[in-house]
Structure 1
Amino acid sequence: MSPLDKVPCTIVTGFLGAGKTTLIRHLLETANGRRLALIVNEFGDVGVDGDILKGCGIESCPADAIVELANGCICCTVADDFVPALEALLGRAEPPEHIVIETSGLALPKPLVKAFGWPAVRSRVTVDGVVAVVDGAAVAAGRFADDPEALKRQAEGDAALDHDNPLEEVYEDQLLCADLVVLNKSDLMTPEEAAGVAADIVRTVPRAVKVVRTSQGRIDAAVLLGLSAAAEDDLAARPSHHDAEAEHDHDDFDTFVVELPAVAEPETLLARLKATAEAHDILRMKGFVAVDGKPMRLLVQGVGARFSHHFDRAWAPGEARASRLVVIGEKGLDRAAIEQALAA
Structure 2
Amino acid sequence: MVPVDEEEPPLAVEIDDVVEHEIPPVGVTVITGYLGAGKSTLVNYILNSQHGKRIAVILNEFGEEIGVERAMINEGEGGALVEEWVELANGCICCTVKHSLVQALEQLVQRKERLDHILLETTGLANPAPLASVLWLDDQLEAAVSLDSIITVVDAKNLHYQLKSHNDSSSFPEAYHQIAFADVVILNKVDLVSSENSDTPLEDLEKEIYNINSLARIIRSVQCQVDLSNILNCRAYDATVCNLHVTHLEALLEENKKLSTRDLHDSSVRTLCICEPKKVDFDKVRIWIEEIIWDKKYGMDVYRCKGVLSVLNSDQLHTLQVVRELYEIVPTREWKDGENRINKIVFIGRLLNEEILIDSLRACTL
Query: TM-score scaled by structure 2?
Result: 0.51
Q: Which residue does the alignment assign to 1:104?
A: 123
When you count helix as a share of all residues, which structure comes out higher?
1
Q: 1:49 deviation in Å?
A: 7.6
Question: Any idea what SS the aligned residue of 1:195 has?
Answer: helix
How many residue pairs end up in the alignment?
Answer: 213
Match of 1:122 among 139, 142, 146: 142
Q: Which residue does the alignment assign to 1:67?
A: 95
Q: Which runs of 4+ in 1 moved over 4 A?
A: 1-4, 53-58, 231-235
Contact 2:47 2:75 in 1 (8 A): no
Match of 1:25 among 28, 44, 56: 44
> Is 1:174 the equivalent of 2:194?
no
Q: 1:29 deviation in Å?
A: 3.4
Contact 1:10 1:225 in 2 (8 A): yes
Question: Any idea what SS the aligned residue of 1:133 has?
Answer: strand
RMSD: 3.3
Q: Which residue does the alignment assign to 1:145?
A: 164
Deviation string 1:223-250 (CA, Å, 9 cap, x unpaired) is 211212126998644878xx479xxxxx
Deviation string 1:76-128 (CA, Å, 9 cap, x unpaired) is xxxx5200110111111113111111111121112111112111101111112
> Is 1:187 the equivalent of 2:191?
yes
Unaligned runs of 5+ in 1: 72-79, 152-162, 246-344
Change (3 A) 1:201 1:183: same
> 1:1-344 residue pairs with structure 2 within 5 A?
5-30=24-49, 32-42=51-61, 50-52=72-74, 55=78, 58-62=88-92, 65-68=93-96, 81-116=100-135, 117-140=137-160, 142-146=161-165, 164-166=170-172, 168=173, 170-191=174-195, 192-205=200-213, 207-230=214-237, 236-237=305-306, 243=324
Question: Any idea what SS the aligned residue of 1:215 has?
Answer: coil
Aligned residue identity for 1:52 = N
Question: Any idea what SS the aligned residue of 1:119 has?
Answer: coil
Aligned residue identity for 2:72 = G
Deviation string 1:291-344 (CA, Å, 9 cap, x unpaired) is xxxxxxxxxxxxxxxxxxxxxxxxxxxxxxxxxxxxxxxxxxxxxxxxxxxxxx
Q: Taking every aligned residue pair, what percent have the same amino acid on both sides?
A: 27
Q: 1:40 deviation in Å?
A: 1.2
Contact 2:57 2:118 in 1 (8 A): yes
Contact 1:13 1:104 in 2 (8 A): yes
Q: 1:147 deviation in Å?
A: 7.2
Unaligned runs of 5+ in 2: 1-19, 64-68, 80-86, 243-303, 307-320, 327-366
- Paired with 2:100 and 2:50, the residues of 1 have a C-alpha distance of 27
Between 172-181 and 50-59, the greater mean CA deviation after superposition: 50-59
- Paired with 2:227 and 2:203, the residues of 1 have a C-alpha distance of 22
Q: 1:19 deviation in Å?
A: 0.4
Q: Which residue does the alignment assign to 1:249?
A: none
Aligned residue identity for 1:67 = C
Query: TM-score scaled by structure 1?
Result: 0.54
Q: 1:43 deviation in Å?
A: 6.6
- Paired with 2:151 and 2:21, the residues of 1 have a C-alpha distance of 23
Contact 1:37 1:96 in 2 (8 A): yes
Change (3 A) 1:121 1:14: same
Contact 2:59 2:70 in 1 (8 A): no
- Paired with 2:91 and 2:220, the residues of 1 have a C-alpha distance of 26
